[in-house]
């Protein structure tokens, strides 16, 4: 496999490069009159080191006369740089021959597979189910890179002042360890994106911006389960107007929980899809991605769609019009989409994650657009929206036209749930209230508390002839339990914040225990949790209870913002039933 790269130059700062097949570099660039003779270094290097040396040579050539034989100067420069990295070796240039190696294999399918992606060779091989050896695949990729048909760079690259950076995820805290691929006892290795295949200094990333023409114009109209309300029509029209403008930019759809923003988006995107745009719907959470994929395929049953999230990859090398993926999967996309729609922009793990910010930004084309969807936008977005630098549309009401359930704030002492736990009398009275038979979704701040509370809750509920369960992210039965709760086969479900957003669970009540734990339950989180209740048209009056040992700012602010959204909806005439 081609993990070793040679230095090639031709007395021209623009004609300095690294390649495992120098002859193809000579063939591709040799028709330029000013390039003169080509020279190749007599030693191959790991890709990261070859790229670093190339940068040093290019900088040096900028300061040297444009004509003349600078081989000796550059040899000394390379030796000094090698010593800087603890690699003391003699280095010299050799004249590069003119006979290239034969081209290897059919490259059309390979370029089509890489289009719009940034991948390791092993990932490309799996995608294509490549029948040849890994060496043959690497050689074909190297030829395409040397002839300019494919971008190629080391997975770990050395930047200014010798600082390493992962070119796939942007991580700068790079480790050095013994490498299985090249045998170097101190190769650069990225710890942040290991789950996508090991990114090392000796491995290459291959990338190709998607320059395929748009699909032929067509008429796409989503099949929706209901007609859009006037508020939703207004939001969809604003989004369509923004996209129709055609300029690159960003747009915020600020919609309350349960406002039907997915249906609004599908209506707003119809015109762009009709124009052949390629669209990415990205979301931080796997559960939300799964639900979005179901809703989009239901609304557009004949549209070419691709789905990528943990445990599921449905790919179409011909170029699907809509791709639905988690934000982590965006690390594999490269200037591929005319439009990126980022759902739940404030959710973990996207919020505050520099790696995922970079991945989403790199996924869109240089002139592509970005649309943010959320009920609780981060302060950076709200400030831009209110300052007029970010176009946005506010959707403050749900389709059924009823106000959002306003949380009840209860101060109540809760023990640490150690040993056998039972709810205090006041909480027990709330949880045993009939409330039209709605089950209770109960949130707790940590996995440890969910386990201890859940076990005790199950015994407490059983004594009242009810059924209870608990779930958390690593629970192998979480999908089955969530389905049982949504189908009414559980009266109580204790959960961590994995169910705080993006999912519709029917007619339910919501309770947050230890809501005063602000490191977990901040304002945005509490608003999202409250948004699980009152979503169903046939039962819009869900109950929301926040229980804490004191009232925090987050508890007060979340309640105030929900009241403010209700008041805005009343002012705009969207709520016909202002009194619950």
437 or 375: which leads in pLDDT: 375
Dihedral of alpha carbons 281, 287, 290, 292, sign: negative
Q: Is 314 helix (H, G, I), strand (E, B) or coil?
A: strand
Residue 579 pLDDT greater than 60, yes or no? no
- From 386, 292, 421, select the one nearest 344 (Cα to Cα): 292
- From 296, 275, 263, 294, select the one nearest 339 (Cα to Cα): 275
Pair of tokens at residue 533: 């209740």
Instruction: Return the pLDDT at 320.
Output: 78
| Pick from 101-110, 324-333, 366-375: least confident | 101-110
Distance CA 67, CA 145 (A): 28
560 or 318: which leads in pLDDT: 560
Q: What share of the chain has pLDDT > 70, as a percent?
A: 90
Instruction: Return the pLDDT at 31.
Output: 56
Domain covering 408-571, topology: Rossmann fold (3.40.50)
Instruction: Return the pLDDT at 16.
Output: 86
Measured between alpha carbons, how far is residue 198 from residues 191, 308, 348, 355, 516 in Å?
8, 19, 24, 16, 41
For residue 269, how far is the Cα from the chain centroid? Answer: 20
Q: Is 548 helix (H, G, I), strand (E, B) or coil?
A: strand
Distance CA 496, CA 554 (A): 18
Whether the CB-CB separation of 486 and 505 falls below 8 Å is answered with: yes
CB burial of 508-544 (b: ≥16 within 10 Å; e: otherwise) equals: bbbbbbbbbbbebbbbbbbbbbbbbbbbbeebbbbbb
Confidence tier at 35 by pLDDT (50, 70, 90): low
* Ranges of each domain in the chain: 4-95, 108-208, 230-395, 408-571
Residue 2 pLDDT greater than 70, yes or no? no
Give the tens place of pLDDT for each residue, 69-86.
888 999 999 999 999 998
- From 370, 369, 377, select the one nearest 394 (Cα to Cα): 377
For residue 205, how far is the Cα from the chain centroid? Answer: 19
Whether the CB-CB separation of 446 and 495 falls below 8 Å is answered with: no
Give the tens place of pLDDT for each residue, 485-522.
988 899 999 999 988 876 667 789 999 999 999 999 99
Q: Do domains 230-395 and 408-571 have the same CATH topology?
A: yes
Measured between alpha carbons, how far is residue 395 from residues 169, 571, 572 in Å?
34, 13, 10
Instruction: Return the pLDDT at 333.
Output: 94
Structural Rg of the chain based on CA atoms: 29
Instruction: Return the pLDDT at 556.
Output: 97
Peptide bond into 349 cis (omega under 30): yes
Give the tens place of pLDDT for each residue, 141-180.
888 888 788 899 999 999 877 899 999 999 999 999 998 8
Please provide the average confidence, as pLDDT, over all residues in the chain: 87
Instruction: Return the pLDDT at 343.
Output: 92
Residue 222 pLDDT greater than 90, yes or no? no
Instruction: Return the pLDDT at 319.
Output: 63
Residue 203 pLDDT greater than 70, yes or no? yes
- From 459, 531, 453, 444, select the one nearest 495 (Cα to Cα): 444
10 Å CB burial of residue 302 (0-12, 13-18, 19+) is exposed
- From 85, 62, 52, 46, select the one nearest 13 (Cα to Cα): 62
Q: Which residues pair with 165 in a beta bridge?
A: 157
Rounded to two decimals, what is the model's pTM? Answer: 0.84
Instruction: Return the pLDDT at 418.
Output: 55
Q: Is 139 helix (H, G, I), strand (E, B) or coil?
A: helix
Pair of tokens at residue 142: 């190297």
Instruction: Return the pLDDT at 247.
Output: 63
Give the tens place of pLDDT for each residue, 118-135.
999 988 888 887 776 777
Which residue is it, tokens 């990205």?
282
- List Cβ neighbours of 481 (8 Å cut-off, separation of 6 or more): 469, 470, 471, 475, 490, 493
Instruction: Return the pLDDT at 456.
Output: 86
Distance CA 341, CA 279 (A): 7
Residue 393 pLDDT greater than 60, yes or no? yes
Instruction: Return the pLDDT at 537.
Output: 84
Instruction: Return the pLDDT at 519.
Output: 92
| Pick from 6-10, 27-31, 384-388: least confident | 27-31
Dihedral of alpha carbons 477, 478, 483, 485, sign: positive
Check: CATH 3.40.190.80 for 230-395? no
Instruction: Return the pLDDT at 286.
Output: 84
Residue 30 pLDDT greater than 80, yes or no? no
Instruction: Return the pLDDT at 457.
Output: 85
Give the tens place of pLDDT for each residue, 293-351.
888 888 888 888 888 887 666 665 456 789 999 999 999 999 999 999 999 888 878 88
Name the pairing type of β-strands 468-471 and 492-495. Answer: parallel
Whether the CB-CB separation of 144 and 128 falls below 8 Å is answered with: no
């Amino acid at each position: 496999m081609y993990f070793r790269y040679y230095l090639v130059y031709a007395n021209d700062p623009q004609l300095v490069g690294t390649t495992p097949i120098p002859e193809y570099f000579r063939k591709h660039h040799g028709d330029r009159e000013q390039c003169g003779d080509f020279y190749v270094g007599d030693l191959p290097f790991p890709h990261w080191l070859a790229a670093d040396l190339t940068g040093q040579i290019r900088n040096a050539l900028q300061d040297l006369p444009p004509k003349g034989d600078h081989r000796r100067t550059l040899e000394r420069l390379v030796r000094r740089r090698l010593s800087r990295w603890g690699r003391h070796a003699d280095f010299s240039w050799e004249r590069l021959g003119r006979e290239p190696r034969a081209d290897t294999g059919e490259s059309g399918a390979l370029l089509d597979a890489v289009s719009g992606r940034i991948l390791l060779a092993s990932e490309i091989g799996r995608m294509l189910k490549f029948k040849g050896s890994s060496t043959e695949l690497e050689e074909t990729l190297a030829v395409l890179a040397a002839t300019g048909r494919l971008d190629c760079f080391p997975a770990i690259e050395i930047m200014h002042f010798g600082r390493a950076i992962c070119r796939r995820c942007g991580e700068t805290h790079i480790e050095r360890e013994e490498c299985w691929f090249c045998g170097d006892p101190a190769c650069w290795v990225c710890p942040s994106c290991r789950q996508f295949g090991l990114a090392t200094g000796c491995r290459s990333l291959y990338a190709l911006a998607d320059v395929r023409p748009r699909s032929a114009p067509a008429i796409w109209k989503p099949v929706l389960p209901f007609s859009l309300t006037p508020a939703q029509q207004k939001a969809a029209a604003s989004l369509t107007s923004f996209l129709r403008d055609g300029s690159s930019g960003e747009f915020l759809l600020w919609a309350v929980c349960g406002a039907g923003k997915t249906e609004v988006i599908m209506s707003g995107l119809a015109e762009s899809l009709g124009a052949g745009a390629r669209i990415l719907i990205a979301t931080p959470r796997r559960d939300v991605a799964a639900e979005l994929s179901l809703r989009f395929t239901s609304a557009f049953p004949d549209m070419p769609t691709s789905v990528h999230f943990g445990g599921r990859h449905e790919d179409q090398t011909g170029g699907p019009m809509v791709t639905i993926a988690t934000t982590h999967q965006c690390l594999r996309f490269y200037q591929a989409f005319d439009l990126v729609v980022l759902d739940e922009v404030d959710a973990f793990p996207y919020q505050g994650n520099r790696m995922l910010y970079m991945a989403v930004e790199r996924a869109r084309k240089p002139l592509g657009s970005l649309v943010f969807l959320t009920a609780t936008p981060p302060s950076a977005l709200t400030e831009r929206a209110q300052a007029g630098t970010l176009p946005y549309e506010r959707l403050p009401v749900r389709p059924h036209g009823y106000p959002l359930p306003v949380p009840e704030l209860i101060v109540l002492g809760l023990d640490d749930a150690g040993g056998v736990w039972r709810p205090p009398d006041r909480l027990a009275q709330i949880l045993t209230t009939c409330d039209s038979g709605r089950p209770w979704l109960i949130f707790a701040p940590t996995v440890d508390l969910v386990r201890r509370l859940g076990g005790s809750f199950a015994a407490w509920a059983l004594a009242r002839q009810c059924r209870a369960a608990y779930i958390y992210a690593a629970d192998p039965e979480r999908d089955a339990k969530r389905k049982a709760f949504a189908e009414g086969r559980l009266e109580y479900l204790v959960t961590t914040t994995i169910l705080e957003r993006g999912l519709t669970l029917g007619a339910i009540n919501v309770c947050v225990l230890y809501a005063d734990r602000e490191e977990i339950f901040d304002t945005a989180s509490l608003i999202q949790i409250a948004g699980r209740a009152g979503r169903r048209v046939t039962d819009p009056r869900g109950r929301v209870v926040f229980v804490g040992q004191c009232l925090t700012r987050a508890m007060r602010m979340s309640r105030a913002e929900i009241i403010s959204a209700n008041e805005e909806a009343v002012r705009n005439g969207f709520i016909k039933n202002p009194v619950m």
